Structure 1
């Protein structure tokens, strides 16, 4: 049986966010909670992911990331050399070129190693946190399939991505 884990980004994903919607719609979907969503420290986030997933059957595990959660996933794979069934990486931010400083310097440098599993990078053409060219660069480096979802901002609840049925359909392609 497939088990899903959401990995939100900076600030967590609120009750109207599409990740919360996914958690409600999918059987076996759980959020990986972090101690500090607003002052993220890479090593703390990686340790938490490892704690949560270390006893899971990773061959049947899919991670669903948003924003900084996608960068964290790439770091976790690089550090722990894990292989999962797949990952949906939505709106990865370009923290090397941020439009605003949110103190995520511990997440640099960006990991650009190929991911050893099927992955999809879904990006928006008008995301203030990541230009289209950088999203395409990340996807290429990670060996991910690419899905452009149009002008969707940062693909969060503020941009109208609460219930996101198209996202659930996209997720099905990993299964």
Structure 2
């Protein structure tokens, strides 16, 4: 597997989050650290992502959650393709009333087609985005949409542990990318 960069969202991902479990499971995984998890700024977060990608010897895969997805999409609109693909989990609708005010500075999120393979994973009861809005994001970005049913925000509160379904999606994305290169 290529390097795996893990991009948490607002307030980072705690020890019970699937992203933290994946860091423990996959030796090639590395969390993209942000200067401030509670008061995110778009420029800082995109700069941290760019630095993490540049530090990889080969193009990495990304596993982004929530505001981490918004960061990836902003980065992609500026930088182009230097990654193999991305698993985009539970992107927030930044216009949704329940989204924390600190996250709204990432709006508007670019809606152009992404220049790499991506899978958008959405829940039917995410408190930060309607399923219809997730469908529209997937369509705009040219992503395959994966419906995980009623899994909330697909975070620690969802009780996913190591999230085997997400691991299967990541493996499938890796195989898609490798098949495209052959």
TM-score, normalised via structure 2 length: 0.91
SS of 2:108's partner is: coil
Q: Match for residue 43 of structure 2?
A: 43
- The answer as to 2:164 corresponding to 1:165 is yes
Distance 1:25 1:79 in 2: 31
Unaligned runs of 5+ in 2: 175-182
Q: Match for residue 156 of structure 1?
A: 155
Taking a change above 3 Å as real, the CA distance of residues 78 and 100 of structure 1, as seen in their structure-2 partners, is: closer
Taking a change above 3 Å as real, the CA distance of residues 153 and 118 of structure 1, as seen in their structure-2 partners, is: same
Q: Match for residue 137 of structure 1?
A: 136
Q: Match for residue 178 of structure 2?
A: none
Alignment map for 1:27-106 (pairs within 5 Å): 27-59=27-59, 61-106=60-105
- CA shift at 1:105, angstroms? 2.7
Unaligned runs of 5+ in 1: none
Greater helix content: 2
SS of 1:75's partner is: helix
Q: Match for residue 4 of structure 2?
A: 4
Q: Match for residue 24 of structure 1?
A: 24
Moved more, 76-85 or 145-154: 76-85
- CA shift at 1:162, angstroms? 2.4
- CA shift at 1:6, angstroms? 0.3
Q: Contact 2:70–2:106 (CA<8 Å) still a contact in 1?
A: yes
Corresponding pairs, count: 174
RMSD over aligned CA atoms reads 1.3
- CA shift at 1:57, angstroms? 4.1
Distance 2:153 2:168 in 1: 19
- CA shift at 1:100, angstroms? 4.1
TM-score, normalised via structure 1 length: 0.94
Q: Contact 2:85–2:173 (CA<8 Å) still a contact in 1?
A: yes
